Structure 1
Amino acid sequence: MVLMEVSGVYTSSKSAYPQVVLKEKEGDLCLPIVIGRFEAAAISMAQNERKPTRPLSYDLAHSVLELVDARIEKVEITDLHEGTYYAEVYLREENGAVAVLDSRPSDAIALALRMGAPIYAAATVLKEAGYVRPPDESQDIDPPAPPTSEPELEPELKSKLEPELASDTLASDTVESPESEPADQLEALRRRLRQAIAEEVYEEAARLRDEISRLEADANS
C-alpha cells in the first residue's frame, strides 16, 4: 500500500461532476476519482476545516465513533474493477479489535479527513489509473456548502440507467486519458459511464449515455 494525501477536489471540462485527487505522500503519482457533488463538498469542507451549519452524515458518524471510543485506523483504496473503485475502512473498536468495512472511496476519504486517519492506495491501482499530475484541464474548486441531508435520487432516471450498469459491454477501468481516435473516445466514455452509475451520479450518467449514443450513431452512418 502507498501512503496518499488529498491533493484537492477538482472539476474537469470532460465531466459535469468533480474529482477528488489523491497524491502520493512521497511521490508524484496522482489518483483521480469521480465523485458526486455532495461528497465533493463534504471532502472539501473537511480538508479546509470548515464546519457545516448542521452536521452531515459524515460528521454524525464521526461523533458516534468518538462516543463509543472507536476510531478509524486507516482507509485503503484497494481495487479498481469494471470501472468501480473499491475501498476499505479499518475501524479499531474499544476492545482493540479491528473491523474491516467495505466502502465507497468518497465516503472513506470524507471520514478519514474528519478523523485524521491515513489514506492508502494499492500500488496496482496507482499503476492502472494514476497520473503523474492532475489533468491539465482541471481546476481547483471550492464547492458550496452541501445540504444538511443527502440529495434524493430521481427514481425514473435511475431505472433508465440500471440496464447500463448490468451491461457486459462497458470497459473495465476509469482512467480519463486523452482520446485521439473515435473508438478510444467511446471506450473512455463507457468507462466514465460505469463509474458514474456506480457512484450513483445519475445526471452525469444520463449525459454520458446520450453522448455515447450520438457517437455510435455517427460511427454507423
Structure 2
Amino acid sequence: MLVEAEIWTIARTDQGNAVLVRPIGSESAVPIFIGQLEAQSILIGLGNVPMPRPLTHDLFITLFSMLGAELQRIEITALKEGTFYAQIILSKTNGEELIIDARPSDSIGIAVRAKCPVYIDESVVDEAGISVSAVSTGSEEVASNPYEQEKRRLEEELNRAVEVENYEEAAKIRDKLQRLSETFPQGDEEAE
C-alpha cells in the first residue's frame, strides 16, 4: 500500500549521497543512494534556485504541460535486489492516466520542482527504512541552500588537501569553488 511521503533531506554518507524519503508522520526514512549530479538537481529544486536555463527536470515539466498532461504524483513502488523503482503518474485532459517508469532520483527531481505529492510503498519502508533518530544531525545536510552546502563541502575538501600537502588536488578544488561561485553568483549574498 502506498503512503504519502516527503523529501526529508539529502545526506552525505560514507557510501555517497542519499535522499531520505520520509512517510508523513513516520519516525522512519528511506535512504535512496543517488549520484552527485542527481543530488545537486534535487537540491536546486528544493531550494527553488533560479537557473539561467532549464535543467532536464524543468524541461520534462514543461514538456508534460505542453502535451496536455498534468503531473499527479510520483510513487516509489519497489525495492528489488538493492534497486529502487519509481513511477511518474500523469493525467491527460481526457482523464486518461499515464504511468511512466523512472528512476527515483529523476522522479524526485521532478516532484520537488512541481511540488507534487510523493508516495512510497509501505513494503519499501519496511525493508529499507531507518529510524530518523539514527540520522546524525552532524552528518545531515539540510537542503535549504544548495550553494552553501556545496561550498562547505568543497572548502572542507580543500582544507584536507592542503593539510596533506596535495597541492595539485587543492588547485582542482579551488577551481571548482570558483566555478561554483560563477554558477551561483547570488550565493555569497544569500549566505550572509
TM-score by length of 1: 0.61
Moved over 4 A (4+): 141-145
Mapped partners of 2:92, 2:35: distance in 1: 30
Equivalence for 1:10? 11
SS, match of residue 84 in structure 2? strand
* RMSD of aligned Cα (Å): 1.8
Contact 2:47 2:146 in 1 (8 A): no
Contact 1:112 1:118 in 2 (8 A): yes
Percent of paired sites with the same residue: 31
Contact 1:3 1:24 in 2 (8 A): yes
2:59 equivalent to 1:60:
yes
Which digits, 9 at most, give the CA deviation of each residue in 1:125-176, with x for residues without a partner?
000000111532632065459xxxxxxxxxxxxxxxxxxxxxxxxxxxxxxx
Which digits, 9 at most, give the CA deviation of each residue in 1:32-85, with x for residues without a partner?
100011111111111111122221110111111122221111111111001100
Q: Pick the structure with more strand per residue.
A: 2
Equivalence for 2:95? 96
TM-score by length of 2: 0.69
Matched AA of 1:135? V
SS, match of residue 51 in structure 1? coil
Equivalence for 1:125? 124
The 5-angstrom pairing of residues 126-141 of structure 1 reads 126-133=125-132, 135-136=135-136, 138-140=139-141
The 5-angstrom pairing of residues 144-159 of structure 1 reads 144=147
SS, match of residue 117 in structure 1? coil
The 5-angstrom pairing of residues 99-114 of structure 1 reads 99-114=98-113
Mapped partners of 1:39, 1:93: distance in 2: 28
Which digits, 9 at most, give the CA deviation of each residue in 1:162-206, with x for residues without a partner?
xxxxxxxxxxxxxxxxxxxxxxxxxxxxxxxxxxxxxxxxxxxxx
| Aligned residues between the structures | 143
Mapped partners of 2:91, 2:52: distance in 1: 29
The alpha carbon displacement at 1:31 in A equals: 0.8
Q: Structure 2, unaligned stretches of length 5 or more?
A: 149-192
Mapped partners of 1:140, 1:65: distance in 2: 31
Q: Structure 1, unaligned stretches of length 5 or more?
A: 146-221
Matched AA of 1:2? V
